Structure 1
Amino acid sequence: MEENLAFADLLRLMDERSTAFQAAVAAAPSLDMQVPSCPEWTLLDLVQHLVEGRHKWAAIVAAGAADAPAEFSAPAAPREREAVPAWFAASVRELLDALREAGPERGCWTWWGDSQSPQTSGAVARHQLQQLAVHTYDAQATVGTPQPLSSEVALDGVDEFLTTCCAGTEPWPHKPAVVDYHATEGRSWRLWVSADRTRTAQLPHGTTADEALEPADVTAWGTAHELVMFFYGRIPTQSLRTEGDQGILDQLHA
């Protein structure tokens, strides 16, 4: 099985995505531009969302193991547009500093409870990289320069989404189903959904739908970037190549 990104790589890529996000914001003619993928937000709203999230998760990581999220305060948005990139960058530095101080194994509160992702600062770093990556894509799309996620980020993003956001004990109100996802970069995952528990696993390298242990009810193919964008609702099911009961994918989204 493929290894997930190392902790140091997660922090490096978070810093890289932060720089790319700032570049997109700086290129915008106005911070009042509507974000196409988040139509209820302006670009400034998107920046504020990320700033508040970086401060929130920095406080959570710094607090260590807890039964509830730590309290935090985020500085108000600056009045001058020129100060907005520094305001955002400071929030990312705070989160990166908290993660470096904690290391990857420290326990902390997370919203994902009993999913297949651990409740650790390392898992927080992994999820926050994806938040930065997807919202950087949002900002780039707003100014007309969307860049696909790198394979390094996107492949980890597929696995992270399935283990964090999908796998757990939240009841599935439909028939049990088996879903396969294949990234064109050569990695594959299987998701089992049922009333009792949803679980996921990487499939052996090069596995095809015909070689899986049991036939999937629906299979989706795309680049890792496309799969991440699909998971986060940035592209529709029709943007992927699918085989089987596509309605299951729609139920998963719902």
Structure 2
Amino acid sequence: MRLIDERSTAFRAVVAAAPDLDAQVPTCPDWTLFDLVKHLGGGDRFWAAIVAAGPADGPPAEAVAARAALEVPREPEALPAWLAASTQLLLSALREVGPDADCWAWWSGLQTPRTAGGVARHRVQESAVHTYDAQLAAGAPQPLPVGVALDGVEEFLFTCVASPSAWPHKPTTFDFHATEGRSWRLTVDGDGARSTRIPAPTAAAGEGLDAAGVSIHGTAGELVIYLYDRIPAESLRLEGDPGLLDLLRAWEPGH
């Protein structure tokens, strides 16, 4: 929860200093900075209602109603306070139920549990990536904090990619190597998609591991913003068949 608060504070700082809330967000081409504010603050309120509602088979009525009734102030001086209140609603809901409390979530539950703890981990990344988006719109993008980024690669693979749906192509693997010394392997086949940590790439560590279909190398922050489609694969160092990345990007498994 501390990391949600830290990234949300960084996001509010960009918003408070922005001279124009109608500035376009380059990494979200259809959105202005105001749209990004509405998305992140509204998302905090939406997930606060989801967590508070407890177990459910679909988006709880409380959360849907909160999103439908969302009112965002247009006055620039009021937005930081609205964002802060949005974040506090989420943090209060998370504290109230504890990390092991069940709740609805859109992901499969295969590698990320459908719990308040799973929601908290994902909201860290939402806040971090959208802070990067806002900084980019303001012309001063900053690297993601290393700890946030390292967890972000794994969180994306475990939450956004993991699926029991069959991979419709030849089975293969994708290796992601962060220069900070952590690596992951994503395996896709008829049983779906799942990821695991693997040894960092050294001559010794590579022994016993089959070569991946494609390997992606970069800082953890670069890997995260690539996975969230903010930069192209060509911005990173690739080994193997880069066409596999296009197949992975186009795949839409049912969660």
Q: TM-score, normalised by structure 2?
A: 0.92
1:220 to 216, 227, 239: 216
Contact 2:199 2:206 (C-alpha < 8 Å) held by counterparts: no
Look up the match of 2:76: 81
1:123 to 111, 118, 125: 118
Q: Quick one: which amino acid aligns to residue 50 of structure 1?
A: L
Change over 3 Å in CA distance of 1:163–1:245 after alignment to 2? same
Offset at residue 212 of structure 1 (A)? 4.8
Contact 2:177 2:201 (C-alpha < 8 Å) held by counterparts: no
Offset at residue 206 of structure 1 (A)? 5.4
Secondary structure class of the residue paired with 1:165: helix
Q: Quick one: which amino acid aligns to residue 149 of structure 2?
A: A
* Structure 1 unaligned spans of 5+: 1-10
Q: Quick one: which amino acid aligns to residue 244 of structure 2?
A: I
Look up the match of 2:253: none
2:25 counterpart of 1:35: yes
Look up the match of 2:52: 62
1:25 to 11, 15, 27: 15
CA distance in 1, matches of 2:149, 2:52: 27
What is the alpha-carbon root mean square deviation over aligned residues? 1.4
Contact 1:114 1:169 (C-alpha < 8 Å) held by counterparts: no
Mean CA deviation greater in 73-82 or 192-201: 73-82
Look up the match of 2:99: 104
1:48 to 31, 35, 38: 38
2:159 to 164, 178, 191: 164
Q: Quick one: which amino acid aligns to residue 251 of structure 1?
A: L
- C-alpha deviations, 1:39-72, integer Å up to 9, x for none? 1001000000112111110011111111112223
Q: Quick one: which amino acid aligns to residue 30 of structure 1?
A: D
Tell me the number of residue pairs that the alignment of Structure 1 and Structure 2 aligns.
244
Look up the match of 2:226: 230
1:114 to 103, 109, 112: 109
CA distance in 1, matches of 2:192, 2:29: 33
CA distance in 2, matches of 1:187, 1:215: 17
CA distance in 1, matches of 2:206, 2:230: 29
Task: Kindly report structure 1 stretches of 4+ aligned residues shifted beyond 6 Å.
Answer: none
- C-alpha deviations, 1:100-125, integer Å up to 9, x for none? 11111111111002331111110100
Matching of residues 177-196 of structure 1 within 5 Å: 177-196=172-191
2:170 counterpart of 1:175: yes
Secondary structure class of the residue paired with 1:215: coil
* Structure 2 unaligned spans of 5+: 251-255
Change over 3 Å in CA distance of 1:239–1:116 after alignment to 2? same
Offset at residue 80 of structure 1 (A)? 1.8
CA distance in 2, matches of 1:198, 1:68: 23
Secondary structure class of the residue paired with 1:210: coil
Mean CA deviation greater in 172-181 or 70-79: 70-79
Secondary structure class of the residue paired with 2:122: helix
Q: Percent identity?
A: 61
CA distance in 1, matches of 2:227, 2:82: 29
